[in-house]
Chain A
């Protein structure tokens, strides 16, 4: 694909429900990142994958959040028992190298999650 693809673009769910957000990175990019952007704020780091493994998950806010990348390409961010405070735009990015200082991150357009 031409860029990072995120689906769905919008997701509305009820408090307490489970949601999955999908990210399809640029082909060949080994590094994949998830960020969360609340209204009026900059993106906040959640988790980073190098290949299939999570290299750094220190940004996940609690154990309701989980992400996988089983084949080293597509990644899914999973949120259990959603809360209204989870409402935000969830951004995915990929890069061809292991550090933002070495190669640029390419961001998708994000999934806007609204928890009612």
Chain B
């Protein structure tokens, strides 16, 4: 089956620190990969995506590269801000296999001054 594994939180960082949230996946077909973010009191929002191997998704200073050889899609940001505090979800969908997103369990990020 399809599954997504991401690092457990909470992750607590100081402002301007470097962020990595690890995400690995298993998939029965060829997946598209996503990072969604949930800010406090808000709904899930798409942060970035990559649809094929070696693609890099980027948005708001966040980046993730689709690594087929390591089945990974790690989220990175060079300098986090307090406003980045949120829960981050890694997810996949199988191309041509339906329209279901399979999510990881989420990683809470707390950024402190």
Contacts and interface: CB of A to CB of B under 8 A. Distances in A.
Pair from one complex: yes
A35 B43 CA distance: 12
A55 B46 CA distance: 23
- Which residue, A33, A43, A93, has most C-beta atoms of chain B within 10 A? A43
B44 A55 contact: no
Interface residues of B, number: 25
Interface string A1-18: 001100000000000000
A42 B43 contact: no
Chain A contact residues, majority secondary structure: loop
Interface stretch (B11-19, B74-82, B95-103): B95-103
Given A100-B32, A100-B34, A41 B42 contact: no
Nearest to A41: B105
List of 3 A-B pairs having minimum Cβ-Cβ separation, nearest first: A42-B103, A101-B32, A107-B44
9 contacts: A42-B103, A43-B44, A44-B103, A45-B100, A55-B99, A100-B101, A101-B32, A104-B49, A107-B44
